[in-house]
Structure 1
Amino acid sequence: MEQDYIKLIFGLKLKQIRTDKELSLFGLSKLTGLSKSYLNEIEKGKKYPKPDKIAQLSEKLEVPYDEMVSLKLDKNLAPIGEILQSKILKEIPLELFGIQESTMIDIISNAPSKVTAFISTIIDIAKNYNFSKESFYLASVRSFQEANNNYFDDLENAVLSFAKTYQVNLKAPVKSEDLEEILVEEYGYSINSTELESHTELKNLRSVFVPKTKTLLLAKHIDDAQKSFIYAKEIAYNYLKIKERLYTFSWIKFENFDQVLNNFYASYFAGALVIPKARLMDDLKDLFSKKSFKSKDFERIINNYNASPESVYHRLTNILPKEFNLKSLFFLRFSHQKGTDDFVLNKELHLSKQQSPHANESDEHYCRRWASLRVLKEISNSGNAHEFDIQISNYPSEDKSYLILSSATADPFVADQYRSVCVGIQINNQFKRKVAFAESKSIKKTDVGVTCERCAISNCEVRQAKPTVILSKQMDDKIASVVDELQKKYSK
């Protein structure tokens, strides 16, 4: 263990022994002959006493010396000991949120019993929901994105600098062959598009990078947009001089948090390169200036770039908050297997914590009135390459409405599986000022919920389950009301 943690554990034990014996720091000072300030430094984990001082504390407190120096904690402090010994504080990206490790240690030492209860709760939740280290890292990056409105000026500027240095024309669609030439000529890459095909275990991977020989193995059946994005990510790793990185796309596992964060940085750079900010802003200004919304106008924007619909939707979450001040928005990605009624939410981003739908409800049914689920049903039946839908989703329980844009495409790696992405923008005064078609009657309005179990909408034609959460609350309210009446009746 690190010396700082050993000091902290000793301090926690000394404080617990002192409080168990109903001694103040002043009282312990009188008992042991050690100064109050010195004892306070020990309890806060800032100093570790010399053996003769430990012996002095051991004798006066009537606690065996070996017990005093042992790193074993009793059950009340054991979770803190586990956290410290696991070095999880080293793994948690505290610095990402402006928190110093010393601050966390101070919090732990000042309120050990409460912090222990909190840590135990977090551990239980993590176990019950199978919350892995990778999940924690991804949640941390997502919170980092949300805290910055998912816009990073340094990465936007890096793309502009790269384009100028390598004479990449950002006013026209970026071609994969141009990016491949840069990788090969400038960064010494070798591109192989046949190797992965001979390994059935790797059928869901789009690329594998071999750093020793700078060989990029590509899946043979990816389209040009996917190839461009992969090339752009590889350029990002090199141009941004990123060392800690992932070598597969999609990722298999993360070894540390830096890999997760750098994967996000490289993806952001790639999105900004293939969907340049200036071009997208012009497209959106043109779209928002129209008095009525036409699907072909938005689909034209998607087709303007050598990028997947998902990449365009991701890019909207960068540009809308920064350049149009539309910060109350969310992004969702669902997957769906044809012939089933299962919809899996596997990616989400909320730039305002208040938005619905928020988080994955365990064993509950997502609202089938959502555009993002409807386009999945439509594409699985139609077999089209792309399905698009738009609606205004009203959440009656929250008195909020969102403009929802959603696209569905086939998963190129899994037969009969489809993916949808959507962006929801809250309809508020800012939205109405920026978007001319904000109140267009051509856009259908639909009352929606989050999950069927939590939805109070009556006579829903696509309901998958009874509103059990609401019914349970109503029953609890009735019971509480009767109890209140009895309290009043027999209190007279």
Structure 2
Amino acid sequence: MMATAAKLFLGHRLRRLRKERGLSQTDMASTLAISPSYLNHLERNQRPVTAALLLKLADTYQVDVLSFASGSGARTGPDELTEIFADPLLSDLSVPRYELVELAHNAPTVAEGIARIYAALKEAERMPALAEADDARSLVTPENWVRDYIQAHRNHYPEIEEAAETIGGALTDPLSVAEPMRRRLKDAWGITARVVSQSLLGNLSQAYDPDRRMFLISSQLRQENRTFALAYQLAVTEFAGLFDRMVGDASPPDEGIAELLHMHLANYAAGAIMMPYGKFLRSAEEMHYSIDRLCGEYGANVEQVAHRLTTLNRPNARGVPFFMLRVDPAGNISKRYAGEKFPFSRFGGTCPKWNLHAAFQAAGQVVTQLIETPDGHRYFTVARTIERPIKSDLSGGLLAIGLGCDISYAHKLHCAEGIDLDRAPVVAVGPACTICPRIDCGYRAAPPAGRKLAVTGNRKTISPYPFVPA
């Protein structure tokens, strides 16, 4: 029996589109050849948007169907709200899931406001000194603000892609892209790039001196990271106006966050210059998303390629929608990207049953795993260790990269070849322990918020925190 397609209630997005275009309901209804009363029902989510109407919206107003239908512009979805309202501070409210879904879909700005306040509260718990500041915006940490900005754009920036593809295409070299980038910096901008001893840079890995028009790169950077450094400097030079406009449009709350966002955009552009979108997507498809082969093709390292794979979100030219994390041996997450839905906690860490951390015990090897989240979705994941960018005793040890995608795409991946996806073992994972609904889990580190414990004195369970199901 065929599954019934989910109905699309897109009232808020439809109303926002109409208001952004300065249209009345009568005007939009006339353009779409529907009645104003029907449009009113659509905007109030009393009627679902049909596929035919969605296509007409796309054709009339030049919107991307997938982005519009999936609500990718919303930073805070039902899963994030569920995590927030599972906090002990709010769990006694027992807010039903359908209310959180309605809030996320019909009032996304309010949902984002709740998420920001919650993130600030968690930051105040982590660093109490911040809570004493006069300006509450100091509780909005730069990394969280920029991370939310990235996810709101699904880690894809069309304007940067177009500009970088133009430059990247002109830098094609059969041996290395580094040399043509160095020449372009010199010939077009009068900037000389040099590799210098680390002792001259102190604790910096790269530095630009605008007075001398000199770009200095640490000799301790690995070769792929030297190339990336050149691409970064080329990006901040060539795209200065574009970055300034994008940062201005984003309206970051303070200068520090603005600078971090600017650096993120430049890093994104550097990867796009090294691996131009169209060419990279074709290579990825031809090479079955083999990270090692893509590294060899583009002179990039594992992390650079993995990050680039999460950005392949161009309308009508999409790649496999990957999510990616980077963690250290202590479990600290320093990067978190997703082209589509991210299956783990927004505010917490990852599930210990996901073998991302096992990569540290198998350094240099590719570790694959099929996982299933509580909502029944399955993902094919890959974990492997990477070296830090700079060769230094002070830079620490290995890091681990986790890359994954919905299992429906796994047949396209080189690392899934030879695996029977229908019979391979599937590991049940969850989000943060405080919101994970799985009962029989021996890895549980905390009881789920808002659930009554089922602990008795005459028996012990596999889970240290058994609880009564909802």
Superposition TM-score tier, normalisation by shorter sequence: 0.5 to 0.7
- The residue aligned with 1:232 is 231
1:429-468 → structure 2 map (5 Å cutoff): 431=409, 441-442=419-420, 444-450=424-430, 453=433, 456=438, 458=440, 463=443, 466-468=444-446
- The residue aligned with 1:303 is 296
- The residue aligned with 1:25 is none
- The residue aligned with 2:156 is 151
Instruction: Give identity over the alignment, percent.
Output: 15
| 1:142 is the counterpart of 2:147 | yes
Q: Give the Å deviation of 1:432.
A: 6.9
Matches of 1:119 and 1:453, distance apart in 2: 21
Q: Give the Å deviation of 1:306.
A: 1.1
1:111-130 → structure 2 map (5 Å cutoff): 124-130=121-127
Matches of 1:356 and 1:473, distance apart in 2: 22
- The residue aligned with 1:276 is 276
- The residue aligned with 2:207 is 208
Matches of 1:416 and 1:125, distance apart in 2: 27
Deviations 1:366-396 (CA, angstroms, capped at 9, x unpaired): 54442321222211xxxxxx4322222222x
- Secondary structure at the residue paired with 1:346? strand
Counterpart contact for 2:281–2:319, Cα < 8 Å: no
Deviations 1:367-426 (CA, angstroms, capped at 9, x unpaired): 4442321222211xxxxxx4322222222x231211112331222344651112222212
Deviations 1:427-480 (CA, angstroms, capped at 9, x unpaired): 24xx379679979634654414347845647576xx4xx5431498341799xx
Counterpart contact for 1:330–1:350, Cα < 8 Å: yes
- Secondary structure at the residue paired with 1:343? coil
| 1:387 is the counterpart of 2:392 | no
Q: Give the Å deviation of 1:271.
A: 0.5
Deviations 1:245-288 (CA, angstroms, capped at 9, x unpaired): 9xxxxxxxx94443233222211211111112233222332244
- The residue aligned with 2:189 is 187
Q: Give the Å deviation of 1:154.
A: 1.6
Aligned length, in residue pairs: 326
Name whichever of 222-231 and 449-458 sits farther off. 449-458
Q: Give the Å deviation of 1:194.
A: 2.9
**Which of 288, 307, 310 lines up with 1:317 in the alignment?**
310
Q: Which has the larger radius of gyration?
A: 1
Q: Give the Å deviation of 1:225.
A: 0.9
RMSD, aligned α-carbons:
4.2
- The residue aligned with 2:379 is 402
Counterpart contact for 2:323–2:405, Cα < 8 Å: yes
Matches of 1:222 and 1:307, distance apart in 2: 13
Counterpart contact for 2:201–2:218, Cα < 8 Å: no
Amino acid aligned to 1:348: R
- The residue aligned with 1:178 is 180
Q: Give the Å deviation of 1:229.
A: 0.7
Mark the runs of 5 or more structure 2 residues left unpaired by the alignment. 1-72, 76-112, 131-136, 246-253, 457-466
- Secondary structure at the residue paired with 1:403? strand
Matches of 1:153 and 1:230, distance apart in 2: 22
- The residue aligned with 1:422 is 402
- Secondary structure at the residue paired with 1:425? strand
Q: Give the Å deviation of 1:232.
A: 0.6
Q: Give the Å deviation of 1:228.
A: 0.9
Deviations 1:165-220 (CA, angstroms, capped at 9, x unpaired): xx4117x46432221222223222233433542465x1xx3212222222222211
For normalisation by structure 1, the TM-score amounts to 0.56
Amino acid aligned to 2:283: D
Counterpart contact for 2:168–2:276, Cα < 8 Å: no
Matches of 1:178 and 1:216, distance apart in 2: 15
Q: Give the Å deviation of 1:236.
A: 0.8
Amino acid aligned to 1:158: A
Matches of 2:322 and 2:371, distance apart in 1: 13
| 1:168 is the counterpart of 2:171 | yes
Deviations 1:4-30 (CA, angstroms, capped at 9, x unpaired): xxxxxxxxxxxxxxxxxxxxxxxxxxx
Counterpart contact for 2:156–2:313, Cα < 8 Å: no
Counterpart contact for 1:409–1:418, Cα < 8 Å: yes
- Secondary structure at the residue paired with 1:332? strand
Amino acid aligned to 1:343: G
